[in-house]
């Protein structure tokens, strides 16, 4: 029986799967072969497309020239997710051995559109570069008094939880799974890594609610994961310890995990934030993070589950007076000594930069330094530090830089084994992501997880093509104009030259140059009347630059060879220091801040010129957010420029207004 395609609730945007995206497939004669639940999903998709566009779909006949498209078992072993695509004699053929492969093949054909049905195509094998392509939702079940329902969420409430429990109707969760499958995501963690009291119980007496979510995701090939608290044996099991080497604790986890798998046989595994920003962890028992992770890995192993153990461990109660402690060093210092000690089904989940999802950071040296550990890289699709979905900031180019960064030959292997993970930016907002253009970030993440070396601009093309299937070239051009450079624009009007932060404490929106300067969070810029930046060199600074292999350790070590965009991350330099660009640091600050605002003004005008090419609700939503982005960008410009003018006393060489 074909599985009906989920019906979107009234008023919810179809995102990158509008009906018209299926026009090419829906107008054809399609044969679907094979069996299994995901084949029924594929059948349902094609059947709905045919209903809309007049085509036909047949099940399990012999493949012959009567079909434009044949979806069915392939000849070779491509794993559960791979597929082949070929076209010969007027028939396009997708071959796959697993249900997911067939589904991904179908969505591939959808992306190609009419191109999939033109001329001949040599057979090409498609396989995801990374086996795990995962979204972490920082959703709370009970609304948190400070963080709200979705921690760092900017798109309304949770898709999963409402009024303190799993939503009654899960049609929208099914639709979300469908969107994710269409960009290649295959795993979702359904609750916040900061596991509060209510959410802790999802592991035990409330596992039924998680099972319902897993049921909704499963037809689109997505496994469900759960964030758990390390203190669960005490909190839920009444034990007096959570020591990972204690037998009763290990037994408790084994039993709890067995019951999870009774409820959800294809459960993905656990996500754990331990000994981080106040969360409990193995340090309390004098145990290592490998001990902690391996205990959970052992509980999950019999069932094929994985533990994702976050490497975001640092001292969040640092003394700002202490210049020897460097938060950037922390993950490396904590975890490199443990390389080789983690179990095979334990994945160490490492943020892409050493700090915390800033608009510009160097790539974390930890990622290249643990060849004997399965690593996953964590990105942040939700725009905590990049405009909170009120600003357009398409992160494809940044992620691409991270994913293409070469430490040495072992990196890709390590990453491939652990996967790519991101914090989702989706919520129950009608546009899913608050800002309609932020959908591009979610889509881009999924596609880069499938193929990390894909060109981001090419991925953006796909997103535009799917989202606006009937778009004239002028709309596509306009979307590229406002999105392509938006990350660099954002970087220009916020913290300069890689120094990071300068945001308002707590909610992290908008500028506050000294907001974190005297805080315990380890995020400083050390600006004084003479200069600015953090000396992280090995020779005179914190030594962080020495955590890289060559050539990076040498390049970052000297202000003469350090890339401009990271200069203040690695060095404290005078305002008169001349950048590789030929400008002084202070003039660079002024120039980029004026440029950044001018670029937002231009983007806003470009968007205004697209009215009539985009449906009115979407156009209005984006236009309204551009007003806020421009207001906020001006605030950034003026605060940052005034701050550095007041400190340096150096006037803008071009005589523009600095307050």
Q: For residues 518 and 617, which CB has a smaller minimum distance to its own copies in the complex?
A: 518
Who's near 243: CB < 8 A, 6+ residues apart? 249, 282, 285, 287
3-class DSSP string for 367-403:
HHCCCCCCEEEEEECCCCCCCCCCCCCCCHHHHHHHH
3-state helix, strand, coil split of the chain in percent (to 5) is 40, 15, 45
Distances (CA, A) of 340 to 329, 370, 373, 415: 20, 8, 6, 15
Using CB under 8 A, which of 29, 56, 196, 647 touches its own copies?
647
Distances (CA, A) of 11 to 15, 610, 612: 12, 22, 19
Binders in 46-85 for its own copies, by CB under 8 A: none
Q: Nearest distance from residue 638's CB to its own copies, in Å?
A: 6
Cα 544 to Cα 527: distance, rounded to the nearest angstrom:
19
Give me the catalytic one of 88, 114, 163, 277: 277
- Verify binding: residue 648, its own copies, rule CB under 8 A: yes
Binders in 296-335 for its own copies, by CB under 8 A: 320-321
- Greatest C-alpha distance within the chain: 80
- Verify binding: residue 615, its own copies, rule CB under 8 A: no
The candidate with the shortest Cα–Cα distance to 446, out of 250, 75, 270, 187, is 187
Using CB under 8 A, which of 530, 615, 624, 627 touches its own copies?
530
DSSP secondary-structure letter at 54?
A: S
Give me the catalytic one of 356, 361, 429, 599: 356
DSSP secondary-structure letter at 218?
A: G
Binding mask 395-414 for its own copies (x = CB under 8 A): --------------------
- Verify binding: residue 654, its own copies, rule CB under 8 A: no
Q: Nearest distance from residue 649's CB to its own copies, in Å?
A: 5
Q: Nearest distance from residue 646's CB to its own copies, in Å?
A: 4
- Verify binding: residue 642, its own copies, rule CB under 8 A: yes
| Catalytic-residue membership of 384 | yes
Joined together, the tokens standing for residue 354 give: 């050493």
- Verify binding: residue 89, its own copies, rule CB under 8 A: no
Using CB under 8 A, which of 11, 247, 550, 659 touches its own copies?
659
Q: Nearest distance from residue 320's CB to its own copies, in Å?
A: 8
Using CB under 8 A, which of 368, 387, 511, 546 touches its own copies?
511
Contact stretch for its own copies (CB under 8 A) within 87-95, 557-565, 616-624, 647-655: 647-655
SS3 425: coil
Give the interface size with its own copies as a residue count (CB under 8 A). 27
Using CB under 8 A, which of 513, 603, 622, 633 touches its own copies?
513
End-to-end CA distance of the chain: 68
Contact stretch for its own copies (CB under 8 A) within 287-295, 396-404, 491-499, 513-521: 513-521
SS3 144: strand
| Catalytic-residue membership of 356 | yes
| Catalytic-residue membership of 64 | no
Q: For residues 283 and 645, which CB has a smaller minimum distance to its own copies in the complex?
A: 645
Joined together, the tokens standing for residue 461 give: 């093309």
Give me the catalytic one of 45, 326, 378, 384: 384
- Verify binding: residue 646, its own copies, rule CB under 8 A: yes
Contact stretch for its own copies (CB under 8 A) within 9-17, 180-188, 272-280, 526-534: 526-534
Cα 213 to Cα 264: distance, rounded to the nearest angstrom:
10
Using CB under 8 A, which of 71, 293, 415, 527 touches its own copies?
527
Joined together, the tokens standing for residue 614 give: 């985009």
Using CB under 8 A, which of 555, 623, 639, 652 touches its own copies?
639
Q: For residues 529 and 654, which CB has a smaller minimum distance to its own copies in the complex?
A: 529
Who's near 63: CB < 8 A, 6+ residues apart? 31, 33, 70, 72, 91, 93
Q: Nearest distance from residue 538's CB to its own copies, in Å?
A: 23
- Verify binding: residue 512, its own copies, rule CB under 8 A: yes
Q: Using N-to-C axis directions, what is the helix angle for 99-112 and 171-183, rounded to 10°?
A: 70
Using CB under 8 A, which of 409, 529, 550, 655 touches its own copies?
529
Angle at 249 between CA 248 and CA 252, to 5 degrees: 85
Taking residue 560's Cβ as centre, other Cβ atoms within 10 Å add up to: 9
Contact stretch for its own copies (CB under 8 A) within 4-12, 201-209, 604-612, 635-643: 635-643
Contact stretch for its own copies (CB under 8 A) within 153-161, 184-192, 412-420, 507-515: 507-515
The DSSP string of 533-575 is -----TTTS-SGGGGSPTTHHHHHHSTTTS-GGGHHHH--EET
- Verify binding: residue 528, its own copies, rule CB under 8 A: yes
Beta strand 531-532 pairing with 573-574: antiparallel
Q: For residues 97 and 502, which CB has a smaller minimum distance to its own copies in the complex?
A: 502
Q: For residues 351 and 525, which CB has a smaller minimum distance to its own copies in the complex?
A: 525
Binding mask 123-162 for its own copies (x = CB under 8 A): ----------------------x-----------------
- Verify binding: residue 164, its own copies, rule CB under 8 A: no
Q: Are 101 and 125 contacting, i.e. CB atoms less than 8 angstroms apart?
A: no
The candidate with the shortest Cα–Cα distance to 111, out of 132, 147, 83, is 83
Q: Nearest distance from residue 186's CB to its own copies, in Å?
A: 38
Cα 225 to Cα 223: distance, rounded to the nearest angstrom:
7
Active site residues: 277, 356, 384
Interacting residue ranges for its own copies, rule: CB under 8 A: 145, 320-321, 504-506, 511-515, 518, 527-530, 635, 638-639, 642-643, 645-649, 659
């Amino acid at each position: 029986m074909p599985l009906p395609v989920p019906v979107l609730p009234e008023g919810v945007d179809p995102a990158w799967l509008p009906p018209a995206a299926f026009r090419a497939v829906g107008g054809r004669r399609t044969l679907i072969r094979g069996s299994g639940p995901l084949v029924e999903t594929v059948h349902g998709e094609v059947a709905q497309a045919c209903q809309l566009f007049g085509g036909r779909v047949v099940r399990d006949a012999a493949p012959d020239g009567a079909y434009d498209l044949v979806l069915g078992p392939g000849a070779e072993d491509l794993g559960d997710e791979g597929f082949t695509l070929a076209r010969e004699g007027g028939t396009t053929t997708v071959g796959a051995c697993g249900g997911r492969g067939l589904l991904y093949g179908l969505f591939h054909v959808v992306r190609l559109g009419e191109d999939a049905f033109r001329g001949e195509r040599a057979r090409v094998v498609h396989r995801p570069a990374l086996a795990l392509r995962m979204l972490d939702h920082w959703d709370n079940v009970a609304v948190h008094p400070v963080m709200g329902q979705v921690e760092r969420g900017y798109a309304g409430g949770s898709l999963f939880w409402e009024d303190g429990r799993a939503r009654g109707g899960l049609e929208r969760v099914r639709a979300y799974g469908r969107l994710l499958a269409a960009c290649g995501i295959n795993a979702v963690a359904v609750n916040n890594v900061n596991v509060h009291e209510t959410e802790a119980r999802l592991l035990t007496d409330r596992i039924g609610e998680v099972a319902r979510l897993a049921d909704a995701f499963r037809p689109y090939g997505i496994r469900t994961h759960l964030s758990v608290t390390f203190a669960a044996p005490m909190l839920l099991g009444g034990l007096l310890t959570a020591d990972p080497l204690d037998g009763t604790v290990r037994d408790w986890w084994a039993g709890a995990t067995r019951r999870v798998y009774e409820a959800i046989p294809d459960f993905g595994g656990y996500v754990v934030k331990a000994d981080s920003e106040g969360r409990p962890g193995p340090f309390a028992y004098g145990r290592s993070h490998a001990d902690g992770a391996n205990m959970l890995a052992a509980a999950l192993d019999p069932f094929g589950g994985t533990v994702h153990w976050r490497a975001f461990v640092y001292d969040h109660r640092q003394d700002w007076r202490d210049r020897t402690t460097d938060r950037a060093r922390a993950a490396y210092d904590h975890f490199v000594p443990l390389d080789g000690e983690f179990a095979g089904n334990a994945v160490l989940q490492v943020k892409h930069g050493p700090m915390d999802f800033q608009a510009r950071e160097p790539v974390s040296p930890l990622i290249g330094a643990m060849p004997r550990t399965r690593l996953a890289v964590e990105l942040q699709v939700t725009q905590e530090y990049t405009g909170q979905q009120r600003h357009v900031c398409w992160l494809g180019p940044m992620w691409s830089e991270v994913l293409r960064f070469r430490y040495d030959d072992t990196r890709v292997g390590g990453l491939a084994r652990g996967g790519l993970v991101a914090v989702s930016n989706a919520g129950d907002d009608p546009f899913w992501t608050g800002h309609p253009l932020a959908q591009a970030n979610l889509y881009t993440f999924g596609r880069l997880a499938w193929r990390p070396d894909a060109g981001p601009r090419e991925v953006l093309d796909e997103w535009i093509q799917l989202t606006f299937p009937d778009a004239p070239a002028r709309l596509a051009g306009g979307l590229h104009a406002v999105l392509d450079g938006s990350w660099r624009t954002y970087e220009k009007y916020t913290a300069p030259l890689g120094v990071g932060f300068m945001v308002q404490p707590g909610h992290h929106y908008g500028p506050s140059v000294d907001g974190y300067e005297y805080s315990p969070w380890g995020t400083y810029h050390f600006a004084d009347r003479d200069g600015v930046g953090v000396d992280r060199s090995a020779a005179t600074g914190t030594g962080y630059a020495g955590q890289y292999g060559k050539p990076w350790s040498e390049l970052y070590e000297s202000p003469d060879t350090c890339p401009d965009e990271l200069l203040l991350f690695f060095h404290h330099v005078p305002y008169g220091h001349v950048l590789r660009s030929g400008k002084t640091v202070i003039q660079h600050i002024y120039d980029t801040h004026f440029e950044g605002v001018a670029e937002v003004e231009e983007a806003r005008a470009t968007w205004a010129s697209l009215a009539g090419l985009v449906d009115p609700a979407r156009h209005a939503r984006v236009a309204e957010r551009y007003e806020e982005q421009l207001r906020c960008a001006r605030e950034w410009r003026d605060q940052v420029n005034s701050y550095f003018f007041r400190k340096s006393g150096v006037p803008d060489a071009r005589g523009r207004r600095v307050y």
